[in-house]
Amino acid sequence: MSDLLEELQWRGLIAQHSDWETLTDALNSGPVTFYCGFDPTAPSLHHGHLVQVIIMRHLQRAGHHALALVGGGTGLIGDPRASGERSLQSTDVVAGWADGLRAQLERLLDFTGDNPARMVNNLDWIGSLSAIELMRDLGKYFRMGTMLNKDIVARRLESDEGLSYTEFSYQVLQAYDYLELYRRYGCTLETGGNDQWGNLVGGMDLIRKVEGKQVSVLTSPIITKADGTKFGKTEGGAIWLDPQLMSPYAFYQFWLQTSDDDVIRFLKIFTFLSRGEIEELEQQVREAPHLRAAQKRLAAEVTAYVHGAEALAEAESATAALWAGGDLRSLSASVLGEAVEKLPRGHWTPGETTLTEAMVSSGLEKGRAAARRTIESNGLSVNNEKNPDPEYVLQEADALPGGVILLRKGRRNLAVLARD
């Protein structure tokens, strides 16, 4: 345990913390019960939550006891956002999202063995909290000046929209979570993202005022790319962990596209590879960056962790089939459909559509004359096979699983044909 905090620092997983000596002594003295909260303000966890889950796994693997809190109560409120007031969801929607987050966390943390994680829901205590109890038993411990000075609160108060009392009260409820978990399970460490620092400190201070005990908090940095831009957005939005919102193939591709400037740092943050393994991959980035060995390992490790070995194998097979001339017919219709989902799309009719028409329909060429020239110069592949005949008529036998046909112009320009 003595090397745990140093390991987390080396991996870039620590931003701020309460008293370092107190925290170090606690972690070195024996198992610590800690928690991290996940609010169901969306139907799935995303890549930002994954950072918190990975910190929890590091702590759990070091022998500490994990509490995964799903905020069935705080999810009905929502913490203040810089972008403006949240739209409050119905209790049924929040309950459904909470179930989804719980199922994801059960796959990502270890709930078996000698040191199983425990799932908790703050609706169990917030749901029965009366307005009088909130004001009298909790509110008296919070100073308005401190609450108003929190960064996100101050920014929202200065905005045109302002801040509702609903979202303003969120910090009281999150602090109450820490107090309840301290009382129920002896929890003495809360972890979270650096944007939650003020809320985490609020819980720590509440325990000190109510119970007279010193507890700790620890935050991770907000992950950015080497150029300083925000990490984790795609054209489709967030990097969701739910395969229904982002397919394992698309998830794998996201990590595979990591730049050389970012890949080693992301291997430290998002995988459990040892220092030696990461240092070897760092050397490969320097000596043979064109092989993209580090990116392939990053994509494989994160995809296997989130979606499992079978989904990883399918994503790798689809990647090889699309981009390395692999066997497209070996893919299932669902995996192939996920792989070609974002490609330019045209249409074909068995026994009627020629290759010339197919190239124009798919957008690979703008006109028939250009399409004919490309095909006759052997510049078109159909399902990874060359075909130099511009008048070839596509047949039923050309269809891949799901009835699609893959066209490739040159090496990197892909399009898909869907059957009419």
What residues form the annotated binding site for L-tyrosine? 35, 170, 174
Question: CB count, 10 Å around CB of 339?
Answer: 27
Centroid of chain to Cα 124: 27
Q: Which residues does the annotation place in the binding site?
A: 35, 170, 174, 233
* Under 8 Å between Cβ of 194 and 220: yes
Q: What is the DSSP letter of 403?
A: S
Residue 391, φ and ψ in degrees, nearest 5 = -100, 5
- The two structure tokens encoding residue 90: 């119905």
DSSP of 343-362: S-EEEE-TTT-BHHHHHHHH
Q: Name the nearest CA neighbour of 153 among 165, 135, 141.
A: 165
Pairing of β 380-382 and β 233-234 = unpaired
Sheet (strand 413-419) strand order: 345-348, 413-419, 405-409, 380-382, 385-386
- The two structure tokens encoding residue 56: 């929890």
Rounded to the nearest 5 percent, the helix, strand and coil shares of the chain are: 50, 15, 35
**CA angle in degrees (0–180, nearest 5) for 48-50-56:** 125
Whole-angstrom distance, CA of residue 61 vs CA of residue 54? 10
* Under 8 Å between Cβ of 67 and 181: yes
Q: Which residues does the annotation place in the binding site for ATP?
A: 233
Centroid of chain to Cα 345: 28
* Partners of 382 in beta bridges: 385, 407
Residue 66: which H helix or E strand, with range? strand 65-70
DSSP of 81-138: -TT-PPPPPPHHHHHHHHHHHHHHHHHHS--SSSS--EEEETHHHHTT--HHHIIIII
